[in-house]
A and B are shown apart, each in its own frame.
Chain A
């Protein structure tokens, strides 16, 4: 029996929840050949503000961030998770590495010894980089919410990793990482995404048997360090509906 196959007599009702990376999936879902994906419910809040209380997805307290949803009334009153057989989460991982990012991002603290010397960051092994990324992920509000969700939701929970940023970011001559690492930037980002993938795997493994990590739809992007330009639109750190389409196929492969 595959992951999403319900027991006899049960129907599959999907709920997609998450942060801004849910937008790509939402765009891709319109072209999906899977009925359950096209008819799914959606609940997204930007940033790290996914809130779960009493078995419900709730709007952020004090209206601090708007809810984006296709379910009438959910933006104001939240969603009852018990109405669903399966939840899909997008996406777990670190925030974008923008120049304006806070200094605590591991890529602003560490570098591997194999990377070009373009800064005075502390030199670390891959294991340490994975550990720092994992620490940062598990300490973040979004991961805490995902952990809570898996603890209280009795069905399967599929979890997407943060997508690999597109190479459009290289068009920004001021981007710190490109300035630091020059021609070595692809290797640097490849190492970064691989380490992040290991950290996310570790996080999901710990959540137990009901949590499943959805693989990157094109594993080769991890080796390239970037996804192709065609898979982002306005922002290189957020992929578009073309990526969403591929990502939903990766999910369907788990069904």
Chain B
């Protein structure tokens, strides 16, 4: 009989044995880390809104989430959150695209400079590139620039001191300034500012541009810190709206497929970069959308916990902790069996 390349492959290589024959939440082995991450590694998190969940879980599990821009002492937890502290490693807000990551990194290492554009409304000042970092706007232009400088300094520190840089892709769509080419994190006129159809241009990045920007950003970080390793994820949170003219469903599929393809190819070409499949763990058909909230967009806390447990379970520090008896789900409590034997007449 002719042998074929599929003979002898492990069970995880086959859809039936790896997925269909398992209960959804027991699908495991989805991630085999290219490199290990220890609890001592300083982990930077940046990216789209799904990445907001990661810092909390890393801290909770005893990992070293790198807070490069810590909140001033005495700030309440509510104010810290309102002002963007403790969410990502620095106070940029969401970084949905690799182009925006590249922009922040190039401003931080001073190979480029932010344009002079500032938005002003009713005597308050808004940063076009961090429009939600100061609710109600800054009291003065000086305050705004000082706050942005602090964030750029924090990004520089993160670039130099991170052991792991985790970036979560969100979108391919963005808005750019026609004159300066600067990218906005949000469309002007949504959170702040005023939309100008002549000045504010819609872009939907293609594969080549997304990949070029990601690798350029990683290379700049690597120049500052040759030992850093990168972890890329794709947010399972669909886009809120598309300006592409397409249906939201097809626009989202285009965007996520492209980002996933870039992540896969970058991981194949760069030994310093790995992909964590949080996207598949939420959006995959085996999970039947059970990790989405009613709006079919936001991920439930249980979904986030499931994703993060898969993450931690693959890391050796976590496995070692289990080995020390932290949690043995298969442990046998003799009383359990006795109760059942009595009740069922066994």
Interface residues of A (CB under 8 A from B): 19-24, 26-27, 42, 44, 46-49, 51-54, 64-66, 68-70, 95-96, 98, 102-104, 131, 134-136, 138-142, 144-145, 147-148, 150-152, 202-203, 206-208, 234-235, 237-238, 241
Kindly name the residue among A49, A131, A151, A235 whose own CB sees the greatest number of chain B CB atoms within 10 A.
A151
Other-chain residue from B288, B300, B340 in contact with A44 (beta carbon distance below 8 A): B340
In angstroms, Cα B326 to Cα A237, docked, is: 21
Q: Is B330 in contact with A48, judged by CB distance below 8 angstroms?
A: yes
Nearest A residue (CB) for B337: A46
Q: Is B25 in contact with A150, judged by CB distance below 8 angstroms?
A: no
Q: Is the interface of A mostly helix, strand, loop or mixed?
A: mixed
Instruction: Give every chain A residue within 8 A of B342 (Cβ-Cβ).
Output: 23, 234
Kindly name the residue among B60, B336, B339, B341 whose own CB sees the greatest number of chain A CB atoms within 10 A.
B339
Whether a CB of chain A sits under 8 angstroms from the CB of B26 is yes
Instruction: Give every chain A residue within 8 A of B329 (Cβ-Cβ).
Output: 47-48, 140-142
Given contacts A47-B336, A53-B21, A54-B21, contact A144 B26 (CB under 8 A): yes
In angstroms, Cα B309 to Cα A21, docked, is: 26
List 8 tightest A-B contacts by C-beta distance, closest first: A23-B343, A20-B336, A144-B25, A104-B326, A46-B336, A68-B344, A148-B23, A23-B339
Nearest A residue (CB) for B290: A151
Cβ < 8 Å to A, chain B residues 31-72: 60
Instruction: Give every chain B residue within 8 A of A144 (Cβ-Cβ).
Output: 23, 25-26, 306
In angstroms, Cα B333 to Cα A48, docked, is: 10
Instruction: Give every chain B residue within 8 A of A54 (Cβ-Cβ).
Output: 20-21
23 A–B pairs (Cβ distance < 8 Å), ordered by A: A19-B336, A20-B335, A22-B340, A23-B339, A24-B343, A26-B343, A47-B329, A70-B344, A95-B331, A95-B333, A96-B335, A139-B309, A140-B327, A141-B26, A145-B25, A148-B23, A148-B24, A151-B290, A202-B301, A234-B338, A235-B335, A238-B336, A241-B343
Interface residues of B (CB under 8 A from A): 20-26, 60, 287-288, 290, 300-302, 305-306, 309, 324-333, 335-344, 346
Instruction: Give every chain B residue within 8 A of A96 (Cβ-Cβ).
Output: 333, 335
Q: Is B326 in contact with A103, judged by CB distance below 8 angstroms?
A: yes
- Closest Cβ of chain B to A34, distance in Å, is 18
Instruction: Give every chain B residue within 8 A of A103 (Cβ-Cβ).
Output: 324-326
Instruction: Give every chain A residue within 8 A of B346 (Cβ-Cβ).
Output: 66, 68
Other-chain residue from B302, B331, B333 in contact with A138 (beta carbon distance below 8 A): B302
Other-chain residue from B21, B327, B328, B339 in contact with A139 (beta carbon distance below 8 A): B327
Q: Is A147 in contact with B302, judged by CB distance below 8 angstroms?
A: yes
- Closest Cβ of chain A to B204, distance in Å, is 34
Given contacts A23-B339, A235-B338, A238-B339, contact A49 B25 (CB under 8 A): no
In angstroms, Cα B327 to Cα A140, docked, is: 9
In angstroms, Cα B328 to Cα A103, docked, is: 10
Q: Is B332 in contact with A235, judged by CB distance below 8 angstroms?
A: no
